[in-house]
Amino acid sequence: EVPNLSLLPSGVLPPVPADVLSSQRMNDVIGVLKARANYILFDSPPVLAVTDAPLLGTKLDAALLVVRAGHTRREQAARARRALERVHVRIVGAVLTHAPREDAGGY
């Protein structure tokens, strides 16, 4: 348990997630969450794999693009960025995951 942190799992995966993400009910849920929290983070599937991230991104204030070191190619990251920008998702930064510790250096 972490103070001031709440988790809301997605539950059972619906047959067509895009239908849920584009629904009025999803808009209502996001509205309730915004009224109750300072920050809300959504974790979505990869941008290039399915339409979930662009659909969800249009409903939110901003997005972070998550890229995996040694796995995500630059062109894939650029295509993902363009896919989000095409639907006017505001990208505020990127997170690099799985970076080797020996390459981390100092801050």
Q: What residue ranges do the domains of the chain occupy?
A: 17-100
Domain 17-100, architecture per CATH: 3-Layer(aba) Sandwich (3.40)
Can you point out the beta strands (E) in the chain?
Answer: 63-68, 91-97
The 10s digit of each residue's pLDDT in 5-23 is: 999 998 898 999 999 999 9
pLDDT at site 10 = 86
Counting as low any pLDDT under 50, the low residues of the chain are: none
pLDDT at site 11 = 87
pLDDT at site 1 = 86
Q: Which residue has the tokens 């190619």?
A: 73
Q: Is the pTM of this model over 0.95?
A: no
Report the alpha-carbon distance of residue 9 to residue 84 in Å, rounded: 24
Contact 10, 20 (CB under 8 A): no
